[in-house]
Structures are given as C-alpha cells and as structure tokens.
Amino acid sequence: MYNEKHPEPTNQPKPLGDLYESLHNQLGTLVDYNDSIIFINDDITDHTLTDLIIRIRNLLQNRTDKTSPINLMINSPGGDVHEMFAIIDYIESLDVKVNTICRGKAFSAAAIILACGTGSRMMSKRSTVMLHQSSSFLGGKMSDITAYLDNVRNLESSIYKILSEKTIKDTQYWKTQMKSDMYLTADKAKELGLIDEII
C-alpha cells in the first residue's frame, strides 16, 4: 500500500503571502503586469517621462501579449507642461494603444494626458477633472519676462488646439472656460468629449 498524492484543486485562492508580494511589486514598480496597468499617481515632474518610458518598456518586454492596449491609470494633481507634452508625444509614438483611466483626479497637465489617450479614455463616476490656464511666479529682466510670456502663450495655444481635436468643443471654448479653474464631473467630461466612457 502507498500514499497517493492528490493534485491540489486549481481553483484555490493564492496564498496570502503571494498576494502581498504581488501587491508589493505593483506598489514598488507602479506596474501591474497581469492587467498591463501603468500608474501615474503623483505630480508630473522632470522625471515623469523617463520613469514612464522605463516602466512601459519593461511592461512590453515582460508580457506575453505584445499587441493589447496599455492601461494608464491616472490619479494626479498635474504638473510640468513640457513633461506633459513629452508624455503625449511618447504615447502617440507607441505601436500599441494606450487607454487612459482617471480614478480620483486628473488635474491640469494630467487632464490633458487623460484626453490624449490613443485607446479608450475613461473615468470613474466620482472622479474629477480640472483644467486651467498656465500659472507661474517669475521675475527678472523685462525682456526675459516678455520672452517667457510669449512661450506660455504658444504652449497654451497648443493645449487649446489639442483639446479642440480631442473633444467636441473648439479652441475658443477652451480658451474662455480655462481662464479660471474648470472642474468637471465624469458626466460633464463625457458630454464634452474629453473622455469616452464612465466606469
């Protein structure tokens, strides 16, 4: 007589230690490999693009399905406008679609990134989007201030143009509305065409 080893049922939940390790890895890398999720959940700063490129390349190398969309999960107060444009350019350069998903908030630069998803643009029902004009505190020579303001006007024109292309409203609408902080519910963001779907 011998002891027969019975196979473990396949529908058993993962041990708690494995779940903690998986969660720790997601928090440490801000990448969920199983669902192709990349997180932006902080200020958008000088290092955000580099960090995003590294995480997306790592994700694409480590997943079996090379063609399915990447899910960019956004919960950010916004930040640097130059970094925002660079992130949008990078997203548009990828061979795979990038779904943008707001859970919590997408303010300022983060709101423009949300609108520029190349796949589905989504927002949870109690999240908030906020758009506004550029802001700055600067001093110095008048010629330098004038050059800076000219640059800001050009950047803002680019933002209004992007929003007119990504939504149902024209540049003048966005220029007028964004003179003060413009807060949008999920329903309003969908009505304006800033997102495609409420989740």
Q: From the candidates 22, 68, 120, 132, give the one annotated as an active-site residue.
A: 132
pLDDT at position 152: 76
Domain 34-198 is found in CATH 3.90.105.10: no
Cα gap 130→138, rounded to integer Å = 24
For 73-126, the pLDDT digits (tens) are 999 999 999 999 999 999 999 999 999 999 999 999 999 999 999 999 999 999
pLDDT at position 13: 54
132: annotated active-site residue: yes
pLDDT at position 51: 94
For the CA atoms of 25, 30, 32, 33, what is the dihedral angle to 10 degrees? -80
Q: From the candidates 36, 76, 108, 127, give the one annotated as an active-site residue.
A: 108
Render 117-185 in DSSP notation, one character per residue.
-SS-EEE-TT-EEEE--------S-HHHHHHHHHHHHHHHHHHHHHHHHHSSS-HHHHHHHTTS-EEE-
Q: Where would I find the H helices in 63-119?
A: 81-93, 109-115
Per-residue pLDDT of the chain (199 residues; tens, 9 = 90+): 434 444 444 455 555 555 444 444 444 445 655 678 999 999 999 999 999 999 999 998 888 888 899 999 999 999 999 999 999 999 999 999 999 999 999 999 999 999 999 999 999 999 999 999 875 555 556 676 677 667 778 899 999 999 999 999 999 999 999 999 999 999 999 999 999 999 9
Ramachandran class of 78: left when φ > 0, alpha when ψ lies in -120 to 50, beta otherwise: left
108: annotated active-site residue: yes
Cα gap 194→120, rounded to integer Å = 11
